[in-house]
A and B are shown apart, each in its own frame.
Chain A
Amino acid sequence: MPAVLDEDWRNGGFGLYVHWPFCQAKCPYCDFNSHVSREIDQSAWVRAYLSEIARVAEETPGRVLTSIFFGGGTPSLMAPETVAAVIDAARAHWPFSNDIEITLEANPGSVEVGRFAGYRDAGVNRVSMGIQALNDADLRRLGRIHTVAEARAALDVARSCFDRVSFDLIYARQDQTMDAWRTELTEALEMALDHLSLYQLTIEQGTAFGDRYNAGRLRGLPDDDLSADMYLVTQELCAKYGLPAYEVSNHAAPGAESRHNLIYWRYGDYAGIGPGAHGRITQGAVRYATESIRAPAAWLQAVSRGTGECVRMPLSPQDQGSEYLMMGMRLREGLDIERYAHLSGWPLPQPRIDRLLELGMIRISDRRVMATDAGRPVLNAILRDLLVD
């Protein structure tokens, strides 16, 4: 049994997340760690990433790397040489799995598209494009600096460079009707290859949208009933087009799921490097949550003095159980009941499980518990029930 605990992360695998914190413009809905900067010294960033990779590799010797993910920010602002240097350094420190997935988030602008071939040559084999909407007026409201025509062109280039291409849309937007979304989603499904991320617009505090919302100036947002209906329609349409949901907001043809994101949801280990990046690293019997310094300049400076990390917190069994529950229940495959009990030191609360089963919110199959189609839209309510008091 102790062996199981030590190695729990193996159930989810091991990946590397690289955060590039710069954007050309800040989107009003985005609460990620992104900054607008004119002068970026790419060589300084290469040095810093390499130093951080060396540092985390020392803590995770011999692990097989199953994924690298360049997120941001806008990683498609990275020079292909920068991306190549990071991938090469990772390869030098960890053995790559044969089917390693290397994803880069890209903006569908014309400049970025010119770098796609360079990314492919650097080793990137999957792109995830932030298209967000398929009409220009809404793109402008979302603060996006590309057009639908540019997005379509970018997608074509991406398909010619990479085997695996995904894109994101944001829906339940201001003044969006059900019919408009149905039409837009159908169009998107016609364009899609084998993976789509479909997010309902969420108003986060500390963003331009958040401020406008607080001031009562963000109008036309759908009410709960309409957004619930939109979510249902999204599930139906995607399934019809062969891209069923494998997670709350992610859809893929079987086998085309994002391996990197599955590491998070299956609660594996991941090293996070770059400004503000989070990680989960198991050492001995302890799983740590790590965080890096958020401000880019401060992070660069800290790395030059040895480490960009500013938080390293051991997670209690209860915290780990909560995280596994919170992440695992997002997946259609759900979570492993015994693994949960091992991890948290406590079984799932039976009376509440029974009640949720009775309500049809969850089901149990093959020693796994998962949200039903009825339960997934109210997952937070299920989680509040199941989290340990």
Chain B
Amino acid sequence: MTDLAHIRNFSIVAHIDHGKSTLADRLIQETGTVQDRDMKEQMLDAMDIERERGITIKANTVRLEYKADDGETYILNLIDTPGHVDFAYEVSRSMRAVEGSLLVVDSTQGVEAQTLANVYQAIDADHEIVPVFNKIDLPASDVSRVAEQVEDVIGIDASGAIAVSAKTGQGIHEVLESIVHHLPAPKGTRDAPLKAMLVDSWYDAYLGVIVLVRIMDGVLKKGERIKMMQNGSIHHVDRIGVFRPQMEAVDELGPGEIGFLTASIKQVRDTRVGDTITHEKKGCERPLPGFKPSVPVVFCGLFPVDSSEFEDLRDAIEKLALNDASFSYEMETSAALGFGFRCGFLGLLHLEVIRDRIEREYDIDLITTAPSVVYHIYMRDGTMRELHNPADMPDLTHVDHIEEPRIKATILVPDEFLGDVLKLCQDRRGIQEELTYAGSRAMVVYDLPLNEVVFDFYDRLKSVTKGYASFDYQMTGYREDVLVKMQILVNDEPVDALSTMVHRDRAEMRGRAMVEKLKDLIPRHMFKIPIQAAIGGKVIARETLSALRKDVTAKCYGGDATRKRKLLDKQKAGKKKMRQFGKVDIPQEAFISALKMDS
């Protein structure tokens, strides 16, 4: 155990590509935590998807031992947090587990949207913040401009900012010194009852669930019996340790320390992020504030392109769910798509990450159906049904009214983009609640239907504000509105997987947008294909995909036979990745892409 004065806990806040991972790599290297020969790029991003997309999905942590210029050795715990609005709650918990943040800003770019969302989380958590201006080795670097921006836009003092190049290593030593001297040491009482925050957890095939904890008060030792305060479950701790970044066992974890425990827990579901862990006996009385159970807000169907892969899909989903408590699933049958699963997610990025992992790690081609929120259908007989899937919409004659979930969305945006943001929120059926200014930045608060936000709102927001808006939301409740089920007919046959719930007033527009999109997404066939949007029996939009007119190889002689045969075989395989509806092949990506709106 280390005394509190020699511990510093911190996170790194940064926009994608501003160099968070490279800085983390340098800190790991500079402190000699990992031997040079064992270093690889982006040490902390474990999954391929994290590395490729430059996002962090799970909190990662590493414990660094640093001998400072004052001759003392400090323990520095770095928590690397997810940086997307889907995981805002997870981020807030990680932030609560540390006392300070490094705010990394690319000195060639300046402050951007994602930086803001996360830096406000850090400010909310009362962090001490050290600005770090990266990429000073590049000619376009402009440290004084970025410093000014940080003071103006974020409103924090940039006088202690450190100019670094994570690439060349310049300034890294100063960063470490600043962590030691500017970030506060954690507080906590060793003699108090154990109070530890569950920061994150994941499943390991050998050890069971690994729980990342921050000890607030008290001491955690191997062999003790602990209690999860949310559900009261009791576990026997069989291992505790720290990450350097690989696991290393320790005898105990004291106040201020960050480490892991294992306790033969079989499902991640039993370990809720933000929960408080204490001892079974003589535990603390009150849990840490701020716990929220994670509730899936977006649902969609996942079906195997090749229906014979259903069992493989079941296997993949069960395995992923072991490691992700925020992801729910149940079996679903679709007339067109056969057997699959209806799955619930925290948001669209979460959905895409899970889908990518199934496709990549389990090698299953998927059809993802239109995402939907959970509607409350009030029946004439007084009962209420939850609707997760527009295909299950009951007969309208039995429906009294429908309610949809609403959110309170907070958007921070530079003045110049305010008009576009207001228009976007207005177009998405938003009701303005607040509009205030902070310097040249506006903060708008809107009451919006979740259904309008869940799909591509964030992408649109980023695009109309060139990435300068930050966005966060909370669920507020349900409200009645005029909602209808819109069906899509391809070649006169309804495709249930493309059904969506829409507001009556926006149905024509959405319908038109969808049929236009589908016209581009479906390849031309040997015959013309009508594509229609309909409500009930009434067609509200229609496009016709004209017939394929030219697809023939001009030259094919003896020397071409092998190559052309392989080409056709490949095209044939590509065709298999499409799903047949009646006589029409629809590519798997069409089910999601058709919903993306350009305005």
The contact of B559 among A200, A277, A359, A381, by CB within 8 Å, is A277
Task: Report the separation of the CA atoms of residues A105 and B583 in the bound assembly, to the nearest whole angstrom.
Answer: 45
The reply to whether B558 and A278 form a contact with Cβ atoms under 8 Å apart is yes
Most buried by B among A202, A323, A378, A379: A378
The reply to whether A387 and B572 form a contact with Cβ atoms under 8 Å apart is yes
Q: Cβ of B551: which chain A residues have Cβ within 8 Å of it?
A: 377-381
Per-position 1/0 for A360-388, Cβ under 8 A of B: 01000000000000011111111110010
The reply to whether B554 and A389 form a contact with Cβ atoms under 8 Å apart is no
Q: Cβ of A375: which chain B residues have Cβ within 8 Å of it?
A: 526
The reply to whether A249 and B557 form a contact with Cβ atoms under 8 Å apart is no
The reply to whether B565 and A322 form a contact with Cβ atoms under 8 Å apart is yes
Task: Report the separation of the CA atoms of residues A381 and B583 in the bound assembly, to the nearest whole angstrom.
Answer: 14
Residue B552, interface by CB 8 Å: yes
Q: Cβ of A261: which chain B residues have Cβ within 8 Å of it?
A: 557
The reply to whether A323 and B575 form a contact with Cβ atoms under 8 Å apart is no
A100 to nearest B CB, angstroms?
A: 17
Q: Cβ of B564: which chain A residues have Cβ within 8 Å of it?
A: 326
Residue B205, interface by CB 8 Å: no
B492 to nearest A CB, angstroms?
A: 16
The reply to whether A330 and B556 form a contact with Cβ atoms under 8 Å apart is yes
Q: Cβ of A39: which chain B residues have Cβ within 8 Å of it?
A: none
Q: Cβ of B568: which chain A residues have Cβ within 8 Å of it?
A: 322, 326, 380, 383-384, 387
Per-position 1/0 for A268-312, Cβ under 8 A of B: 001010001111100000000101000000000000000000000
Residue A190, interface by CB 8 Å: no
The reply to whether A264 and B557 form a contact with Cβ atoms under 8 Å apart is yes
Q: Cβ of A381: which chain B residues have Cβ within 8 Å of it?
A: 525-526, 548, 551
Residue B35, interface by CB 8 Å: no
Given A224-B549, A378-B551, is A248 in contact with B556 using a C-beta cutoff of 8 Å? yes
Residue B527, interface by CB 8 Å: yes
Residue B538, interface by CB 8 Å: no
Task: Report the separation of the CA atoms of residues A249 and B554 in the bound assembly, to the nearest whole angstrom.
Answer: 6
Residue B138, interface by CB 8 Å: no
The contact of B558 among A270, A355, A384, A387, by CB within 8 Å, is A270
Residue B463, interface by CB 8 Å: no
Residue of A nearest to B583 (CB): A355
The reply to whether B526 and A278 form a contact with Cβ atoms under 8 Å apart is no
Q: Cβ of A278: which chain B residues have Cβ within 8 Å of it?
A: 558-559, 561-562
B565 to nearest A CB, angstroms?
A: 5
The contact of B527 among A289, A319, A359, by CB within 8 Å, is A359
B526 to nearest A CB, angstroms?
A: 5
Per-position 1/0 for B200-217, Cβ under 8 A of A: 000000000000000000
Q: Cβ of A27: which chain B residues have Cβ within 8 Å of it?
A: none
Per-position 1/0 for B57-71, Cβ under 8 A of A: 000000000000000
The reply to whether A264 and B550 form a contact with Cβ atoms under 8 Å apart is no
Per-position 1/0 for A327-341, Cβ under 8 A of B: 100100000000000
B567 to nearest A CB, angstroms?
A: 9
Q: Cβ of B556: which chain A residues have Cβ within 8 Å of it?
A: 248, 264, 326-327, 330
Residue of A nearest to B549 (CB): A228
Q: Cβ of B440: which chain A residues have Cβ within 8 Å of it?
A: none
Q: Cβ of A387: which chain B residues have Cβ within 8 Å of it?
A: 568-569, 572
Residue A41, interface by CB 8 Å: no
The reply to whether A199 and B554 form a contact with Cβ atoms under 8 Å apart is yes
Residue B144, interface by CB 8 Å: no
Per-position 1/0 for B559-587, Cβ under 8 A of A: 10110110011011001100000010000
The reply to whether B555 and A323 form a contact with Cβ atoms under 8 Å apart is no
Task: Report the separation of the CA atoms of residues A276 and B555 in the bound assembly, to the nearest whole angstrom.
Answer: 17
Task: Report the separation of the CA atoms of residues A276 and B552 in the bound assembly, to the nearest whole angstrom.
Answer: 24
Given A322-B569, A384-B575, A389-B576, is A202 in contact with B558 using a C-beta cutoff of 8 Å? no
Residue B383, interface by CB 8 Å: no
The reply to whether B562 and A377 form a contact with Cβ atoms under 8 Å apart is no
B560 to nearest A CB, angstroms?
A: 8
The reply to whether B561 and A202 form a contact with Cβ atoms under 8 Å apart is no
The reply to whether A327 and B561 form a contact with Cβ atoms under 8 Å apart is yes
Task: Report the separation of the CA atoms of residues A261 and B569 in the bound assembly, to the nearest whole angstrom.
Answer: 23
Task: Report the separation of the CA atoms of residues A387 and B575 in the bound assembly, to the nearest whole angstrom.
Answer: 12
The reply to whether B559 and A380 form a contact with Cβ atoms under 8 Å apart is no
The reply to whether A359 and B562 form a contact with Cβ atoms under 8 Å apart is no
The contact of B549 among A289, A361, A377, A384, by CB within 8 Å, is A377
Task: Report the separation of the CA atoms of residues A91 and B554 in the bound assembly, to the nearest whole angstrom.
Answer: 33
The reply to whether B562 and A289 form a contact with Cβ atoms under 8 Å apart is yes
The reply to whether A323 and B572 form a contact with Cβ atoms under 8 Å apart is no
Q: Cβ of B569: which chain A residues have Cβ within 8 Å of it?
A: 322, 387
The reply to whether B526 and A361 form a contact with Cβ atoms under 8 Å apart is yes
Residue B231, interface by CB 8 Å: no
Task: Report the separation of the CA atoms of residues A270 and B549 in the bound assembly, to the nearest whole angstrom.
Answer: 33
Residue B397, interface by CB 8 Å: no
The contact of A276 among B525, B549, B557, B559, by CB within 8 Å, is B559
Residue A227, interface by CB 8 Å: yes
Most buried by A among B525, B548, B552: B552
Task: Report the separation of the CA atoms of residues A327 and B559 in the bound assembly, to the nearest whole angstrom.
Answer: 12
19 sampled A-B residue pairs with Cβ under 8 A = A201-B554, A202-B554, A224-B550, A248-B554, A264-B556, A264-B557, A264-B558, A270-B558, A280-B561, A323-B561, A326-B564, A326-B565, A327-B561, A375-B526, A378-B550, A381-B525, A382-B526, A384-B571, A389-B576
B-to-A contact residues, CB < 8 Å? 525-527, 548-559, 561-562, 564-565, 568-569, 571-572, 575-576, 583
Task: Knowing that A248-B553, A384-B572 touch, tell me 16 more A-B residue pairs with CB under 8 angstroms.
Answer: A17-B559, A224-B550, A225-B549, A225-B550, A227-B550, A248-B552, A264-B561, A270-B558, A322-B569, A323-B561, A327-B556, A356-B526, A379-B552, A380-B568, A381-B526, A387-B572
